[in-house]
Structure 1
Amino acid sequence: MHIGELAEKTGLSLRTIRHYDEIGLLTASGRTEGGFRLYTQDHLSRLILIRRMKPLGFSLEEMIDLLTIIDTLEGGESGSDNPEVRNELGGFISQAVERREKLQEQLNMADEFLDLLRRQ
């Protein structure tokens, strides 16, 4: 699929997807004769995962690290049995849980604030 279709399906801008390509977070599988980037369904899934990380405040470097871990685990290489790789994944899971809890606290405070305003 072309970058425009990928952008439409993910809700991300063309500029963001191009940037992700430039830094190696999401590398196009190829280009058309006209030079347009081409992406697959796997790219779409990867981009959706990246999009899910953004609200939790993961940096681009952290995203690259996590995607490397996932690639290792899904690659069927010896990494899938590697306790160090599993431990790194566990660290990301812990961070995601903590960040989600913090967001939930902020949402609860926002709800309380709205309730106070509505009672005025």
Structure 2
Amino acid sequence: MTADTATGTMHIGELAEKTGLSLRTIRHYDEIGLLKASGRTEGGFRLYTQEDLSRLILIRRMKPLGFSLEEMIELLKVIDILQGGESGSDNPEVREELGNFIRLAVERREKLQQQLKMADEFLDLLRRQ
């Protein structure tokens, strides 16, 4: 299945190909509300937009930092409020919640950097054998 150039939509297979995620993962994200399909064909196939692709890429970038699905849903809600121009975008609580996610991401990134450094040291030890 390929993208529908007339409507700018794509089927789940193309979305999976562009993101490197499995069809099963994308379907699961739909089922739990993390990434709902923007529409359906007459045959019931999921249709996704470029915006959906961008959102899925954002979700994919959260995965290496160990965000749970629940955390991803909460963060996407915050992002939707801030990008949607809703009255909540000026809400200090929403900004604070975003700040908390940023701090958490920074902490997790630093932990990954430490793990990568240890892995590099381990490889150096092996190579010296």
Answer whether TM exceeds 0.5 for this pair: yes
> How far 1:4 sits from its partner (Å)?
0.4
| Aligned twin of 2:28 | 19
> How far 1:25 sits from its partner (Å)?
0.3
> How far 1:30 sits from its partner (Å)?
1.0
> How far 1:79 sits from its partner (Å)?
1.2
Aligned length: 120
More helix by share: 1
Give the TM-score taking structure 1 as reference length.
Answer: 0.99
Unaligned stretches of 5+ in structure 1?
none
CA distance in 2, matches of 1:36, 1:72: 29
Give 1:46's match in structure 2, choosing from 55, 66, 73: 55
- Runs of at least 4 residues of structure 1 off by over 4 A? none
Unaligned stretches of 5+ in structure 2?
1-9
Give the TM-score taking structure 2 as reference length.
Answer: 0.92
Q: What percent of counterpart residues are identical?
A: 88
Q: Deviations over 1:44-103 (max 9, x none)?
A: 000000000001000000000000000000110111111100000000000000000000
CA distance in 2, matches of 1:98, 1:57: 11
Residue 38 of structure 1: SS of its match in structure 2?
Answer: strand
